[in-house]
Amino acid sequence: MTAMMIEAEGLRKRFGATQALDGLSLAVPAGTVLGVLGPNGAGKTTAVRILTTLARPDSGSARVAGLDVVTEATEVKRNIGVTAQAATVDEVLTGRQNLVMIGRLSGLRRRDARARAVQLLERFDLTDAADRPARTYSGGMRRRLDLAAGLVMRPPVLFLDEPTTGLDPTSRVRMWNVIRGLIADGATLLLTTQYLDEADELADRIVVVDHGRSIAEGTAAELKRETGGARMEVLLTAPHPGARDALAPLVDGEIVFGEDGRHLGAPVRAAAGLTTRIVRALDDAGIEVDDVEIRQPSLDDVFFSLTGHPTEDASGSDSDPELEVTLA
């Protein structure tokens, strides 16, 4: 049996009329990354606050590094690093002063705290800004400082609550690289995100959360498979009556033609060399082709098929406008 670094059983938490968590369970084996994926208000932050001892569950239990988050909260705190959604650094202090303060409050000697601050500032590319007040930092710098603040004691378990929400694309990619570095160091990581590509990019396994409950779990590939296989989209140079027969042996369902007779699509079982075989089959039948695309289902498709509603950013730049038309 693999050791579970993070384990939650039936977590429930109510805030007034809102049932923020409604029986959430999850498990993260040591050294792996779990992506907790869900829209705003799904209960992701509440889950992180309970797992990091900042909030108490109404019922259910959770263990982090084998320690109970309610009865052994202080011990849990020694084993975790937290980066919350909102900045948790002291805005008036400089980046360096923040990191030294956290080191000191975590029990480091002054000299060790200073040395650790220097290391972290360097690692997160903040050395030039080290002696400026944190409130002068850009959004991306502040997130990196926040992340550094959670790493002062080299904790074996890390919680990152929406680490890239609100960052511009460049800062986001930079943050991803920083997080990949942490994963390479062997940390166990729980990462919440609204971004499907982010979970796909960073997590070993994904839990999809909606209305305080886990509605699906698996690797990105498993979740995609659950939603259905890949799709083939072909654009012929001109309409051709032989296209259906030529492609029939290669597809995994009905071939649908567009009104212009040139576009056709069908579900396929993704396999190596599929595009080559499609082109060859069409060529053998004397049919000219302009474009062939094998499209993997996106996690947006997964989320929609699981929840019946699109994700928060479905209308954003990441999504496929055609997909929305199809779904509507």
Partner 1 sequence: MTATTLPRGPAPPRGARLAGRVRDVAVLTTRNFTHIRREPLRLSDVTIQPILFTLLFVYVFGAGVTLPGGGSYTNYAIAGLLALNLTTSAIGTAVGLTTDLSSGVIDRFRSLAMWPAAVLVGRSIADLLTAVLCTAIVAIVGLIVGWSPSGPVLDIAAGFGVFLLFGYALSWGCACLGIVTGDSESAQNVGLIILFPLSFVSNALVATQHMPAVLRAIADWNPVSAVTAAARQLWHNPNPSAAIHAWPMQHPVLAAVLWSVVLLGVFAPLAAWLYGRRTTE
Alpha-carbon dihedral angle through residues 297, 301, 305, 310, given to the nearest 10 degrees:
180
CB of 13 to partner 1, least distance (A): 8
Q: DSSP letters along 87-132, please?
A: --S-SSSBHHHHHHHHHHHTT--HHHHHHHHHHHHHHTT-GGGTTS
Contact pattern for partner 1 over residues 264 through 303, marking x by CB under 8 A: ----------------------------------------
**One-letter amino acid identity for 271?**
A
CB of 79 to partner 1, least distance (A): 5
Q: Judged by CB under 8 A, does residue 119 bind partner 1?
A: no
| 3-class state of residue 272 by DSSP | coil
Contact pattern for partner 1 over residues 14 through 33, marking x by CB under 8 A: ----------------x---
CB of 66 to partner 1, least distance (A): 3
**CA–CA–CA angle 271, 274, 278 (5° rounding):** 155
Q: Which is nearer to partner 1, 165 or 275 (CB)?
A: 165
**One-letter amino acid identity for 310?**
P
DSSP state of 190: E
Decide if 66 contacts 220 (C-beta within 8 A).
no
Half-sphere exposure at residue 278, Cβ-oriented, CA atoms within 13 angstroms: 26
CB of 141 to partner 1, least distance (A): 15
Q: Which is nearer to partner 1, 73 or 292 (CB)?
A: 73
CB of 82 to partner 1, least distance (A): 5
User: Where do runs of H (alpha helix) occur along the chain?
Assistant: 44-51, 73-77, 95-105, 110-123, 139-151, 169-184, 196-202, 220-227, 243-247, 274-284, 299-307, 321-327
Q: Which is nearer to partner 1, 93 or 306 (CB)?
A: 93
Contact pattern for partner 1 over residues 130 through 169, marking x by CB under 8 A: ---x---------------xx--xxxx-------------
Decide if 256 contacts 248 (C-beta within 8 A).
no
CB of 64 to partner 1, least distance (A): 9
Stretch that binds partner 1, among 34-42, 45-53, 263-271, 280-288 (CB under 8 A): 45-53
Q: Residues for the chain: how many in total?
A: 328
Q: Which is nearer to partner 1, 115 or 255 (CB)?
A: 115
**One-letter amino acid identity for 323?**
L
Q: Which of 3, 173, 221, 327 binds partner 1 (CB under 8 A)?
A: 3
Rounded Cα distance, 224 and 298, in Å: 7
Size of the site for partner 1 (CB under 8 A): 45
Q: In terms of DSSP bridges, do strands 4-15 and 59-64 run parallel, antiparallel, or are they unpaired?
A: antiparallel
Chain positions 52 to 111 lying near partner 1, rule: CB under 8 A, are 52-56, 63, 65-67, 74-75, 77-80, 82, 84, 86-93, 97, 101-102, 104-107
Q: Which is nearer to partner 1, 3 or 238 (CB)?
A: 3
The widest CA-to-CA distance across the chain, in whole angstroms, is 80
Decide if 187 contacts 178 (C-beta within 8 A).
no
Contact pattern for partner 1 over residues 172 through 191, marking x by CB under 8 A: --------------------
DSSP state of 166: T
Binding site for partner 1 (CB under 8 A): 1, 3-5, 30, 49, 52-56, 63, 65-67, 74-75, 77-80, 82, 84, 86-93, 97, 101-102, 104-107, 133, 149-150, 153-156
